[in-house]
Structure 1
Amino acid sequence: MESDQKQGDYKANSISLSGTVAMGTGVMIGAGIFALTGQMAELAGNLFPLSFIIGAIVTLFSAYSYIKMSNAWPSAGGIAMILQKCYGAGAVAAGAALLMALSMVIAESLVARTFATYVLRFFDISGGILVPVLAVGVILFAFIVNIAGNRSIGMISIVMAVFKIAGIGLFGGAALWASGFDFSITQTASSNVDGFGFVASIAFGILAFKGFTTITNSGAEVENPHKNVGRAIVISILICTATYLMVAFGVNASLPIDQIIAAKDYALAEAAEPALGQIGFTLTILLAAIATASGVIASIFAVSRMLAMLTDMKMIPHSHFGMSGTIQRHTLIYTVVIASFLAIFFDLSRIASLGAFFYLVMDMLVHWGVFRYRRKEIGASPYILIAALVFDAVVLAAFSITKADSDPTIVVIAWVAIAAVFVFERYYLGKWIADPEQHAHH
């Protein structure tokens, strides 16, 4: 039993390049389009398609750190490995890695609530107790699928990704066709959107692409990981950028901005009806349900393995509470429980905001760690690393200021939670930074 508890059960070469790309796009498209389009429009007005463009650019800069480190040391711990290689197994690395894991759990609850919101629109229901009920239901379904193992995850991810990209592409193309291919974003732009609001919206744009880290966290299981992890990340980001832009312009052309904001939790379904009629409305809801469900499946797959690796690396405490099986099975259960809690007690806007805070702080620590400790060893450009760090800092500052004005409670919750994570890790590990070479086997 002791050996079972310590083994992550990572199966080398169990995920193909196509399966890896499908996993990354599955997480990104599930959250980015259906959950965040309306949130971004609320902050950026009709300029929200530009938020996707800038978010993609910032993400490509950010991905550089992950690609360079993953090419050198592919690991099932992914981001945890990167942080430990930079800071050692101290509170800085462990705290940042735990923030990443929590942001992934937050993404699961975000996409699960999006699933529920879209499905209920078919019955003309907005809000209510059924939203968290359905959200928890799809999380439990994803748990059952994950128990089946990696091969089933890869196959489901490929099928779902192809279906989603084709369906969403069809939606975006049809909406643009109905509008006469109107790519305008400025003619009816909201006059009350300020610079801070637009820059803050990029935080959600970045969050829409954060699914590429799912690939990093599965590095030890990817075929030919020293090359395919980086390839899969770039391919996934480019596919999602094209998909996001087509849909963003389609939504923008179908509805005035005030209606997009009013329907921010189900903006695509609302935009489908004027562009495509009742059939389009129904098909969009079906597509959203499939896309978000597959997004939850892919996200849970990655975060449970990341938490297992953190446990193996002794960066977080672990108790199996009398459960049998491997650590991965335990962390899968913990992930489902936390995601279900968030889906019940937080609405979409607050879940998205919390995820943005956690992810941006972690991302900045990754870039600084690679720049400070590993850039020469892996041949990374210091200019790209600093650019990625500055981009994150500017977006985080604008997002904090904007949210402090509109929803100060979530700002307080986010920063208190971030501080608590690092204080806890400092207490647990007893030091902020350790010698990373002591843990080179990870």
Structure 2
Amino acid sequence: MVEDLSGDPSGPGDSTAPRLSVRQAAFIGVGSMVGAGIFALLGSAGEVAGAAVWVSFLLAGIVAVLQGYSFAKLGARYPSGGGFLEYVIRGWGDGHFTGAIAWMLLAVNAIITAMVAVSFGSYASDAFTNDDAWVKPFAVLVLLVMTALNVLGSRTVARAQTVVVVVVVGILTVFSVATLSSADRDLLAFSGYPPFADIVSSVALTFFAFLGFGVITFTAKDLADPQRQLPRAVYLALGIATVVYLGVSIGVFGTLTVQEVIDSGGTALAVAAEPTLGQAGYWMMTVTALFATAGATNSGLYPATGLADEMAARGQFPPAMGARVGRRASTGIVTTAIAAIVLAVFFDLNAIASIGSAVALVVFALVTLGHLRIRQETGANLWVLLVADLTTVVVLVSFTVTTLVDEPGTLVALLVILALSVALDLIWKSHRPDPAQAS
């Protein structure tokens, strides 16, 4: 449980249990989204969408809000420590299909965490060593530190994320105002934008920046009134993230050329701050990026314990996944941390983003497709769910046609994750004790 720092009442059944507030739950999501998106993806998205990255973020935000509607309705009806995996179970049952998706979610969680850890490594190496050889060691270091922080409990996670989000969003607001006031409109001219199909294909990358809203669903167990608070937290987090992304992306691409943004890699914000705010602005954004990406790594690890515990309790994962290492650290978070370290060390930033986006789009589309089967229980609007799934599928197909075909390594990795998820489910369930015989 997490201490309620804003006076929200505790839930029924335990008047003394510390709880998360709406703000704290939302900030866990914002911390995950902002660190993964605006600091890590501007260069990658710029390669595809050019100066129209802000349009890409806007479209991705619309898709995320549509999916957020589906998740909020499901979360209000089925609050669970297992987060949106509970929604898969409700929509698709408790069989092999759900088991495979559960392993995929564990993989997505590790990918998101690795992505932001590598971004942290880029900023840390630039700030302290100016040597790219230190990117991966710094990424591993932040993963180890944030894993330890999560082991201390969700109370620590919530307090850390509150501080991080307030500082990061505040500084990004200053950055946006400063860069927008001096932006070069010629750099943002519509005439320089690539074809709309390219912008749509880039949405799969920028949508990655919104994946953190899924983390909020795992806070249901720590909310006093999840039916009311979870939807509010989802919408609040998506609203904050969308506004931040639009302001920052317009400011960056109104200050630097597309090629300068691409060449800057993961440090584009710091480079864009320098012309307006000077060397102090460069260092301010570098420090902000370190806080944001460290916070995103922190919140990215947060769902691992609840996901693994819930799936182990349901028999979808082996019991060992719900066990504790050293009586404190969950096997789920240890497994996620190890997988994230492997990804951070052996994959580059773009590859990690592509894999994470593709897998997440598949999972989100399946969650909302399953929602259609139970929408009478959640009270969700049929047309909103259909549009949410349609837009997600369009982005996924566009991404596959325009991006994955040019990245065979990423495509192979995606197929391996899908196949491995199915294989792990089949192997475990072929050896799982029969509950009927056990009783």
The answer for the alignment partner of 1:250 in structure 2 is 251
Tell me, yes or no, if the aligned pair for 1:157 and 1:294 is still in contact at 8 Å: yes
Amino acid at match of 1:189: G
- The structure-2 alpha-carbon separation of the partners of 1:354 and 1:178, relative to structure 1 and needing over 3 Å to count, comes to same
Structure 1 residues 237-246 or 412-421, which shifts more? Answer: 412-421
Tell me which of 23, 29, 45 is aligned to 1:40: 45
Task: Show CA shifts across 1:9-28 (max 9, x none).
Answer: xx965322221111111101
Amino acid at match of 1:158: T
Residue 174 of structure 1 pairs with residue 175 of structure 2: no
Amino acid at match of 1:149: G
- CA-based RMSD: 2.2
- The structure-2 alpha-carbon separation of the partners of 1:12 and 1:92, relative to structure 1 and needing over 3 Å to count, comes to farther
In 2, Cα distance between the equivalents of 1:306 and 1:403? 30
Task: Show CA shifts across 1:180-211 (max 9, x none).
Answer: 7x497335625xx3444211110122111110
Structure 1 residues 258-267 or 332-341, which shifts more? Answer: 258-267
Tell me, yes or no, if the aligned pair for 1:96 and 1:361 is still in contact at 8 Å: no
Measure how far apart 1:324 and its partner are: 3.9
In 2, Cα distance between the equivalents of 1:99 and 1:217? 16
Measure how far apart 1:117 and its partner are: 0.3
Task: Show CA shifts across 1:138-176 (max 9, x none).
Answer: 011101211222222211111111001001111111111
- The structure-2 alpha-carbon separation of the partners of 1:322 and 1:405, relative to structure 1 and needing over 3 Å to count, comes to closer
Tell me, yes or no, if the aligned pair for 2:313 and 2:319 is still in contact at 8 Å: no
Structure 1 residues 241-250 or 400-409, which shifts more? Answer: 400-409
Tell me which of 108, 112, 116 is aligned to 2:113: 108
Task: Show CA shifts across 1:37-72 (max 9, x none).
Answer: 221111101111000101110111111111111101
The answer for the alignment partner of 1:393 in structure 2 is 393
In 1, Cα distance between the equivalents of 2:295 and 2:418? 29
Tell me, yes or no, if the aligned pair for 2:122 and 2:266 is still in contact at 8 Å: yes
Mapping of residues 297-316 of structure 1, within 5 Å: 297-316=298-317
Amino acid at match of 1:87: W
Residue 142 of structure 1 pairs with residue 143 of structure 2: no
Measure how far apart 1:269 and its partner are: 1.7
Amino acid at match of 2:132: G
Tell me, yes or no, if the aligned pair for 1:364 and 1:392 is still in contact at 8 Å: yes
The answer for the alignment partner of 2:55 in structure 1 is 50
Tell me, yes or no, if the aligned pair for 1:12 and 1:220 is still in contact at 8 Å: no
Tell me, yes or no, if the aligned pair for 1:90 and 1:426 is still in contact at 8 Å: no
Task: Show CA shifts across 1:192-233 (max 9, x none).
Answer: x34442111101221111101111022111221111000000
Measure how far apart 1:74 and its partner are: 0.6
Task: Show CA shifts across 1:374-418 (max 9, x none).
Answer: 111211111111111111111111111222343121112112321
In 2, Cα distance between the equivalents of 1:30 and 1:12? 30
Mapping of residues 70-85 of structure 1, within 5 Å: 70-85=75-90
The answer for the alignment partner of 1:407 in structure 2 is 407
Structure 1 stretches of 4+ moved >4 Å: none
Tell me, yes or no, if the aligned pair for 2:101 and 2:363 is still in contact at 8 Å: yes
In 1, Cα distance between the equivalents of 2:264 and 2:407? 19
Amino acid at match of 2:280: I
Measure how far apart 1:136 and its partner are: 0.5
* Runs of 5+ consecutive residues of structure 2 not aligned to the other structure: 1-15, 431-439
Amino acid at match of 1:379: G
In 1, Cα distance between the equivalents of 2:172 and 2:307? 30
Residue 379 of structure 1 pairs with residue 370 of structure 2: no
The size of the alignment, in residue pairs, is: 416
The answer for the alignment partner of 1:422 in structure 2 is 422
The answer for the alignment partner of 2:285 in structure 1 is 284
Tell me, yes or no, if the aligned pair for 2:56 and 2:206 is still in contact at 8 Å: yes
In 1, Cα distance between the equivalents of 2:324 and 2:32? 32
Tell me which of 84, 88, 91 is aligned to 2:96: 91
The answer for the alignment partner of 2:332 in structure 1 is 331
In 2, Cα distance between the equivalents of 1:137 and 1:123? 14
The answer for the alignment partner of 2:73 in structure 1 is 68
Amino acid at match of 2:63: V
The answer for the alignment partner of 2:10 in structure 1 is none
In 2, Cα distance between the equivalents of 1:220 and 1:322? 19
Tell me, yes or no, if the aligned pair for 1:40 and 1:205 is still in contact at 8 Å: yes
Amino acid at match of 1:325: R
In 1, Cα distance between the equivalents of 2:292 and 2:186? 25
Tell me, yes or no, if the aligned pair for 1:13 and 1:222 is still in contact at 8 Å: no
Tell me, yes or no, if the aligned pair for 1:20 and 1:215 is still in contact at 8 Å: yes
In 1, Cα distance between the equivalents of 2:256 and 2:282? 14
- The structure-2 alpha-carbon separation of the partners of 1:417 and 1:137, relative to structure 1 and needing over 3 Å to count, comes to same
In 1, Cα distance between the equivalents of 2:324 and 2:427? 25
TM-score, L = length of structure 1: 0.89
Residue 230 of structure 1 pairs with residue 235 of structure 2: no
In 1, Cα distance between the equivalents of 2:403 and 2:42? 17
Structure 1 residues 64-73 or 264-273, which shifts more? Answer: 264-273
TM-score, L = length of structure 2: 0.90
Tell me, yes or no, if the aligned pair for 1:176 and 1:249 is still in contact at 8 Å: yes
Q: Specify the SS of the correspondent of 2:302.
A: helix
Tell me, yes or no, if the aligned pair for 1:90 and 1:429 is still in contact at 8 Å: no
Task: Show CA shifts across 1:261-310 (max 9, x none).
Answer: 22232211221222221111111100000111111111112223212222
Residue 205 of structure 1 pairs with residue 206 of structure 2: yes
In 1, Cα distance between the equivalents of 2:63 and 2:177? 26
Tell me, yes or no, if the aligned pair for 2:405 and 2:411 is still in contact at 8 Å: no
In 1, Cα distance between the equivalents of 2:61 and 2:189? 20
The answer for the alignment partner of 1:435 in structure 2 is none
Measure how far apart 1:259 and its partner are: 1.0
Measure how far apart 1:123 and its partner are: 4.7
Tell me, yes or no, if the aligned pair for 1:26 and 1:295 is still in contact at 8 Å: yes
Measure how far apart 1:111 and its partner are: 0.5
In 2, Cα distance between the equivalents of 1:234 and 1:292? 22
In 1, Cα distance between the equivalents of 2:116 and 2:391? 26
